[in-house]
Amino acid sequence: MTRTIEAIKKLKRLRVIGFDGAPFSKQRGSPVNITGIVCSNTRFEGMLYNEVRKDGTDATHKSIEATTNSKFHSQLHAVILDSALKKRVCACHVTKPMHIPYYSSHLLWQYY
């Protein structure tokens, strides 16, 4: 069953992961840290961490890897990507292997 925003809004406890990139060095070849924060409703439940290349070519793979190898994977209802990270992560490649819908952080504000 595909989880839509309407279906997710009906859940008593919503568990999402939001990914964002950290500030990084402008030095060529320096790694960029990405962090995934897991929240249930308004409560912080955990944090996932990984490094990606500065050009972002492995950001999709690394965010999938961090999520699917975590204890939270089976409990997640949605993945939220910040607009800065979204440019480097292909949303369709993230959500297919995880079977979790993807939402852009700036689009969610329309619904809540």
Q: How far apart are CA 52 and CA 108, in angstroms?
A: 25
Which of 68, 80, 85, 75 has the alpha carbon at shortest distance from 33?
A: 85
pLDDT in tens for each of the 112 residues of the chain? 445 666 666 767 788 888 887 888 878 777 888 889 999 888 999 999 888 887 767 777 788 888 888 999 888 887 877 655 555 554 444 555 556 655 555 444 443 3
Domains of the chain from N-terminus onward:
5-103 (3.30.2170.10)
Q: Report the predicted TM-score, pTM, of the whole model to 2 decimal places.
A: 0.68
8 Å CB contact between 97 and 40: no
Q: So what's the pLDDT on residue 38?
A: 94
